[in-house]
């Protein structure tokens, strides 16, 4: 097992966006974390420093004792037969073992197997952020043995008051049950996490509230669960790139602007409840320098007032009705300040994609950043703008904030511009991107995400998914969340191949005549070889011409989504009956057939081998004579 100490610093590649492809809709509840308990020392076995991509923990439980640095907090934990076993005596016991070290961006994965359960509702968990001594509060990614239930998978927090706050639930494609290995993982980027069940994303959350020193852990409740191949890998901070097979990050344009008055707290709340990953809003200053959330240069369209925002004081703006223009149920909604919006996101969950709207002086940008810092939201705010100077000012003042450049048309060299401006994302008009999708690959190669705006139809989402966009800014966030959920349930487009005949491990004698059978899905081409030589599916194997022993059939397929391979090894066995079949079908002279059959019946195998050798190319065809002689000598040795 390897546990590496924390590095002194990490390269900045952006904040935690959770480069996650799909969100399953879930209500984000108000959350509170009251501070971590005292730390328990975690042993380290290497002085090396991990970094993005570095393995921090790797444990296959090859010894017969708990690994060094693993702290069995409660319950029964033991190592046996190359696995870690955890037992919880009842459903009222949340037993745990902790390990690793505090990481902001990481992937925790393990093979889990329910050995016994008291009920299908019992569970095991990956600990995401757990005090080393196991004290509350802690966060877990949970799997029930009845994983196909609506809450078969969960993200949840156990509070200091020993209450549960379940922020997200989902069902798995099949039940874990008992006695079945399931490979599970959770990828964490700050307050966001992605639940991965057997290689496929099942759901996400952006509601984690992280501690300053929580480590990783394993949990068991009302069951005995075994674990194997536990790995913790540190990830780069920029999780904005969409992992393969994951749908979009959902960004609600001006909040839920199709359902509520844009850029208001109610629009933010509706977008949050609809499952949006990020809220996109615009910020501009009042005459007295207070940053407000407003898109237009004037208040005319979205309030009951008139005038340019920069000509109005904060008090004048706060007196305006920002809801009645949209619908009578929103009468009395106010234009929020940036501080009010950030406070709401901090306490109720969510992240902000903040557009600095229009030209801003360096001092005005500094005021915006100070509000972000005062609200303790630097880890959950992503700044974007059409204005290059605004981005430059932001980077100079707060290099920890990720930056996105908005574009109506594509630049000649987006990668070079991204490098110059220290961009985490390049955010073009979606239609411009679709007209030139080849820009995506080089941006991704440079570690820059692509967020397209403002795209509001399923047809456009599908096209953008195909070209590799990472996030969608949309007025229809709830619909995109639903589209993402359907995307998760789609059949895999990856090609598959299986050799169904001869079955792997089959033992065949000369009298059998198997046909090569290959089952494929999503494959355009199929290539089959026998012992490295070209063959084909549907071809009958002539076992009379194969040497005794092991033979290998290989199949390779290619499809639109990649390649796949399979092998099947079978053994041609030597038996008296098989040799008899070989002689009778050899095409030898009838007199030779009689002579060889007589020797076979009397078990005169050595004499039979000698006879076949002498008559090769004479009374017995040369090729089959060699096989008859070889099989006869094999039988003579038995």
DSSP secondary structure letter of residue 429: B
- End of a domain among 466, 488, 510? 488
Q: Are 257 and 266 in contact (CB under 8 A)?
A: no
Is residue 72 assigned to a domain?
yes
Q: What is the count of structural domains for the chain? A: 4
Which pLDDT score is estimated for 238? 67
Is residue 35 assigned to a domain?
no
Q: Give the pTM.
A: 0.69
Helix, strand, or coil (residue 623): helix
DSSP secondary structure letter of residue 125: E
Cβ count within 10 A of residue 628: 28
pLDDT per 10-residue tile (average), the chain, 638 residues? 35 34 30 30 34 87 94 96 95 95 96 95 97 97 95 96 93 92 95 91 89 97 97 88 89 97 97 94 98 98 98 98 97 98 92 97 98 94 98 97 98 98 98 97 96 97 96 97 88 88 94 94 95 96 92 95 94 94 94 96 96 96 94 93
Asked if residue 547 and residue 434 are part of one domain, the reply reads no
Cis peptide before 413 (omega within 30 of 0): no
For the domain that residue 557 is a member of, what is the CATH number?
2.60.40.10
Closest among 58, 107, 346, 369 to 239, alpha carbons compared: 107
Let me know the angle formed at the C-alpha of 17 by 204 and 14, rounded to the nearest 5 degrees. Answer: 155
Asked if residue 314 and residue 302 are part of one domain, the reply reads yes
Interstrand relation of 164-170 and 153-158 (parallel, antiparallel or unpaired): antiparallel
Domain ranges, residue 546: 496-572
Is residue 241 assigned to a domain?
no
- Among the listed residues 102, 189, 295, 422, the single catalytic one is 295
Asked if residue 90 and residue 215 are part of one domain, the reply reads yes
Asked if residue 83 and residue 226 are part of one domain, the reply reads yes
Asked if residue 501 and residue 553 are part of one domain, the reply reads yes
Which pLDDT score is estimated for 488? 83
Is residue 25 assigned to a domain?
no
Euclidean distance between CA atoms 382 and 355, whole angstroms: 9
* DSSP of 334-379: -PPBHHHHHHHHHHH---EEEEE-S---HHHHHHHHHHHHHTT-GG
Euclidean distance between CA atoms 440 and 448, whole angstroms: 9
Residue where the block lists tokens 């707060």: 398
Which pLDDT score is estimated for 269? 96
Q: Are 14 and 237 in contact (CB under 8 A)?
A: yes
Q: Are 218 and 166 in contact (CB under 8 A)?
A: no
Question: Is 295 noted as a catalytic residue in this protein?
Answer: yes
Euclidean distance between CA atoms 7 and 526, whole angstroms: 48
Q: Which residues of 372-389 are buried (b: 16+ CB within 10 A; e: fewer)?
A: beebebebbbbbbbbbee
Euclidean distance between CA atoms 600 and 539, whole angstroms: 31
- Among the listed residues 189, 253, 360, 551, the single catalytic one is 253
Question: Is 360 noted as a catalytic residue in this protein?
Answer: no
Asked if residue 531 and residue 438 are part of one domain, the reply reads no
303 token code pair: 């309030």
Asked if residue 383 and residue 344 are part of one domain, the reply reads yes
Q: Are 16 and 239 in contact (CB under 8 A)?
A: yes
Asked if residue 287 and residue 329 are part of one domain, the reply reads yes
Rg (CA), the chain: 33
Is residue 31 assigned to a domain?
no
Asked if residue 430 and residue 474 are part of one domain, the reply reads yes
- End of a domain among 234, 265, 291? 234
Is residue 93 assigned to a domain?
yes
Which pLDDT score is estimated for 530? 97
Asked if residue 360 and residue 290 are part of one domain, the reply reads yes
For the domain that residue 156 is a member of, what is the CATH number?
2.60.120.560
Asked if residue 608 and residue 536 are part of one domain, the reply reads no
Euclidean distance between CA atoms 607 and 630, whole angstroms: 12
Is residue 312 assigned to a domain?
yes
Which pLDDT score is estimated for 260? 97
Is residue 427 assigned to a domain?
yes
For the domain that residue 481 is a member of, what is the CATH number?
3.20.20.190
Which pLDDT score is estimated for 207? 85
Asked if residue 219 and residue 147 are part of one domain, the reply reads yes
- End of a domain among 572, 595, 620? 572
């Amino acid at each position: 097992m390897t546990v590496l100490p924390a590095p002194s610093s990490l390269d900045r590649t952006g904040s935690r966006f959770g480069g996650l492809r799909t969100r399953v809709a879930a209500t984000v509840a108000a959350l509170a974390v009251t501070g971590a308990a005292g730390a328990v020392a975690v042993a380290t076995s290497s002085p090396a420093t991990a970094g993005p991509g570095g393995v921090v923990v790797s444990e296959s439980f090859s010894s017969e004792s708990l690994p060094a640095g693993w702290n069995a907090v409660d319950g029964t934990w033991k190592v046996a037969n190359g696995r870690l076993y955890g037992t919880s005596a009842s459903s009222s016991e949340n037993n745990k073992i902790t390990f690793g070290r505090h990481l902001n961006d990481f992937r925790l994965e393990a093979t889990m197997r329910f050995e016994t359960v008291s009920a299908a509702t019992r569970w095991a968990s990956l600990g995401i952020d757990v005090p080393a001594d196991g004290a509350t509060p802690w966060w877990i990614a949970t799997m029930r043995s009845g994983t196909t239930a609506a809450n078969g998978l969960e993200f949840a927090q156990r509070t200091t008051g020993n209450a549960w706050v379940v922020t997200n639930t989902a069902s798995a494609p099949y039940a874990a049950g008992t006695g079945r290995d399931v490979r599970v993982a959770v990828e964490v980027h700050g307050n966001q996490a992605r639940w991965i069940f057997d290689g496929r994303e099942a759901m996400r959350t952006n509601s984690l509230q992280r501690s300053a020193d929580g480590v990783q852990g394993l949990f068991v409740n009302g069951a005995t669960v075994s674990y194997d191949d536990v790995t913790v890998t540190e990830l780069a901070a920029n999780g904005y790139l969409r992992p393969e097979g994951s749908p979009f990050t959902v960004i609600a344009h001006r909040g839920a602007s199709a359902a509520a008055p844009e850029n208001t707290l109610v629009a933010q709340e509706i977008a949050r409840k609809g499952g949006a990953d990020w809220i996109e809003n615009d910020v501009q200053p009042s005459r007295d320098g207070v940053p407000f959330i407003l898109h237009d240069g004037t208040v005319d369209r979205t309030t009951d007032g008139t005038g340019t925002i920069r000509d109005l004081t904060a008090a004048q703006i706060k007196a305006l009705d920002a809801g009645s223009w949209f619908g009578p149920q929103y009468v009395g909604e106010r234009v929020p300040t940036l501080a009010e919006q950030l406070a709401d996101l901090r306490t109720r969950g969510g992240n902000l994609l903040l557009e600095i709207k229009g030209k801003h002086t360096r001092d005005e940008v500094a005021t915006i950043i100070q509000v972000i810092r005062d609200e303790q939201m630097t880890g959950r705010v992503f700044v974007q703008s059409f204005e290059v100077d605004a981005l430059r000012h932001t980077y100079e003042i707060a290099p920890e904030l990720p930056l996105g450049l908005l574009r109506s048309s594509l630049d000649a060299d987006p990668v070079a511009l991204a490098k110059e401006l220290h961009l985490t994302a390049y955010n073009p008009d979606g239609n411009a991107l679709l007209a030139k999708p080849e820009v995506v690959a080089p941006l991704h190669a440079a570690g820059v995400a692509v967020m397209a705006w403002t795209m509001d139809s399923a047809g456009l989402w599908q096209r953008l998914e195909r070209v590799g966009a990472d996030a969608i800014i949309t007025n229809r966030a709830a619909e995109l969340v639903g589209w993402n959920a359907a995307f998760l349930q789609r059949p895999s487009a990856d090609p598959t191949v299986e050799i169904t005949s001869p079955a792997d491990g089959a033992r065949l004698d000369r009298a059998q005549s198997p046909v090569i059978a290959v089952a494929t899905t999503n494959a355009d081409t199929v290539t089959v070889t026998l012992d490295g030589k070209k063959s084909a599916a549907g071809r009958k194997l002539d076992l009379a011409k194969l040497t005794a022993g092991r033979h290998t059939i290989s199949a390779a397929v290619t499809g639109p989504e990649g390649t796949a391979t399979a092998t099947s090894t079978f053994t041609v066995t030597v038996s008296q009956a098989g040799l008899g079949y070989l002689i009778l079908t050899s095409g030898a002279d009838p007199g030779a057939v009689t002579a060889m059959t007589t020797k076979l019946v009397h078990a005169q195998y050595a004499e039979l081998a000698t006879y076949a050798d002498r008559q090769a190319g004479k009374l017995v065809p040369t090729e089959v004579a060699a096989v008859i002689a070889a099989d006869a000598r094999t039988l003579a040795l038995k």
